Amino acid sequence: MLIQINDPSAPKIDKPLKYALGIDFGTTHCVAGVVRNDTLELIPLEGESFLLPSVVSYQESGVSVGKRVGSDSNAIFSIKRIMGRTFKEADTNVQGHSFQFENTTSGLALKTEVGLKKPVEVAKDIFQYIKKQAETYLGQEVLDAVVTVPAYFDEVARVSIKDAAVLAGFNVLRLVAEPTAAALAYGLDEGKEGVYIVYDLGGGTFDVSVLRMRQGVFQVLATGGDAFLGGDDIDAMIVKHFLTDIELSAVQRREALTHARHVKERLSSQLKATFDTPLGDRCVLKREIFESLIQPFVTQTLNIMSDTIEQSGVEQEEIQGVILVGGSTRIPYIHAQINQQFKLPLYQTINPDDVVAMGAAQQAHLLTNGGDSVLVDVTPLSLGIEMMGGIVDKVISRNTPIPIRKAQNFTTFQDNQTGIVIHVVQGERELAKDCRSLGKFTLTGIPPMPAGVAKVKVVFALDADGLLTVGATEENTDIAQEITIKPTYGLDEHSMAEMITESHKHAQVDIEKRLLEQTKVEANQLIHAVEHALSVDEELLSDIEKSTILKIIQELQQSLHQERRGVISQRMELLEQSTEEFAHRRVQKHLKG
């Protein structure tokens, strides 16, 4: 037997801690958190702010994430609203959008200055930015993440979100429904137990979930919502109120929507707010008019909430309260209407912008380090198979706890039928044409038999992320076929591999572009500092000295247009050297008073 002997005097090498992020990929903002030293921390993503605007701008100079550039017609806002959507769905349901997109053979694509971009590529750039910011903050590489998705996102949209995170370099430990993540934050932080409603109204989606929290078990009893209902729609209502029948350019519409969002936010604490139109007019919106505008919108959310409570099977007396999540829940009218209809306590002690990321970070920590809490989620929509005549046979019903594996038996319809097409759909409608098509595959090689003799067992396996695998086996012959569901117009494995290869291929070029931009910023800061010093203390220099410094400044400014980082750095160094004596004289002057 071999015994390993360690030198007790040898220094111990501590392995770096492995961190896992919790990411709330939001329509309006993104937030990321991490548990470090048993303490939950939010990560600064935009300067000192934890909120990263979900905005991506594509220009020849590179990709910019998080910058709100009102006049930039290439800036893409609210990308989450069209993740996994067809052109028709986006065009029909995302009212008042400022997207410039077109329908391609591979699905919806957005127009940018550098060409067409798929929604998953835009989301990838946001995830990639979050990853870099987190790694800078934590001082080490971060690979693992729990990513939240709206509870009512269907299979296609969930796959798209996960694909985007994977393309950005994340190992996605789990997809967690946003209301569930919020409940997790309240349950672990505040020790709440019992049945709670989570009312989650974000920028692009509305979700409501009924959860039972008891002794570390977080069980989703039912979920409902609308993937095309959110704060963006309220902004569009304000724009429509003031600019009915007025044609706006894409830039004007984006500017109008931005002003409308500010008006909406101000009306949460003020009785009136001013709306500046892109046409130069100033209009006043009073809170009572605003509330009348959004009344149908709020009523729609309350109806969904009532239906979800009914589907959960819980009695009103069992419900302990309503947890409010999402920035749009700051609207006082929403509080008043929930209170009036349901007469339940409202909870918003945790910042509604942060709570989802906090819950996701806690789940990420539990998955990587272990813990006593168990998360039991449900599937938001039914999954089934198209039968003869186009009807749907539901294999897994909505609000079924996941993960789940469920089998159902089918047979052939005609004599000597040697193959069966398995068409998997998602939705609550009775006809396949009214549901979302998730994919098709064919089970072939069935021996010729009379109709009804073949025994085809179809198995649906839904994992903890809500992602689906479907398999079919002819039990007389053991012929089998399996498919992992991917959207038919989404991102296939080849496309993903190609995009990853492209990102690696251009990695060095991207780094050089980033370094060049950073050097330009530093050069401009240096020029500004020297010019300010000259305006204050130029009498400390001789005419020759001043002329020399101004000449170097001019050369440095010229080099900024040459896109050569080495030349810029050299001229910056020359300017610093030529102003050393000037800086010394200024110090002496100000010390003497």
Structural domain ending residue among the three candidates 245, 270, 292: 292
Would you place residue 488 in the very low, low, confident or very high pLDDT band (cuts 50, 70, 90)?
Answer: very low
Q: Domains in the chain: how many in total?
A: 4
Residue 504 clears pLDDT 80, i.e. is over it: no
- 231: its two tokens: 């704060």
Mark whether 96 and 175 lie in a shared domain.
Answer: yes
- What's the CA angle centered on 114, arms 113 and 119, to 5 degrees? 95
What pLDDT is recorded for position 50? Answer: 92
Q: What is the mean pLDDT of the chain?
A: 84
The CATH number of whichever domain residue 115 belongs to comes to 3.30.420.40
Mark whether 158 and 92 lie in a shared domain.
Answer: yes
Mark whether 58 and 173 lie in a shared domain.
Answer: yes
Q: Bridge partners of 23?
A: 32, 147
- 37: its two tokens: 């030293």
**Residues ≥6 apart with Cβ < 8 Å to 67:** 53, 55, 57, 75
| pLDDT tens-digit series, residues 519-572 | 887 888 899 889 988 988 889 899 899 999 999 999 999 988 877 888 899 999
Helical axes 543-559 vs 507-537, angle rounded to 10°: 160
Mark whether 94 and 147 lie in a shared domain.
Answer: yes
Structural domain ending residue among the three candidates 310, 345, 377: 377
| pLDDT tens-digit series, residues 235-260 | 999 999 998 878 887 778 888 888 89
Mark whether 80 and 167 lie in a shared domain.
Answer: yes
Mean pLDDT of 172-183: 89
Assigned domain for 433 exists: yes
Residue 212 clears pLDDT 70, i.e. is over it: yes
Residue 254's domain comprises 231-292
pTM (predicted TM-score)? 0.71
Assigned domain for 573 exists: yes
Assigned domain for 447 exists: yes
Mark whether 226 and 236 lie in a shared domain.
Answer: no
What pLDDT is recorded for position 214? Answer: 80
What pLDDT is recorded for position 16? Answer: 53
What pLDDT is recorded for position 148? Answer: 94
**Residues ≥6 apart with Cβ < 8 Å to 563:** 516
Would you place residue 12 in the very low, low, confident or very high pLDDT band (cuts 50, 70, 90)?
Answer: very low
The CATH number of whichever domain residue 561 belongs to comes to 1.20.1270.10
The CATH number of whichever domain residue 272 belongs to comes to 3.90.640.10
pLDDT above 90 covers what percent of the chain? 33
Mark whether 45 and 122 lie in a shared domain.
Answer: yes
Structural domain ending residue among the three candidates 441, 461, 490: 490
| 138 or 15, higher pLDDT | 138
> CA 65 to CA 282: how far, in whole Å?
31
Assigned domain for 486 exists: yes
Element holding 458 (H helix, E strand) = strand 456-462
The CATH number of whichever domain residue 485 belongs to comes to 2.60.34.10
Mark whether 278 and 214 lie in a shared domain.
Answer: no
Assigned domain for 465 exists: yes
> CA 146 to CA 165: how far, in whole Å?
10
Mark whether 212 and 338 lie in a shared domain.
Answer: yes
User: Which residues participate in catalysis according to the annotation?
Assistant: 24, 80, 178, 200
| pLDDT tens-digit series, residues 429-479 | 788 888 888 888 888 888 888 877 888 888 988 887 777 888 888 888 888
**How far is the first Cα of the chain from the last one, in angstroms, to the nearest whole number?**
80
Mark whether 85 and 201 lie in a shared domain.
Answer: yes
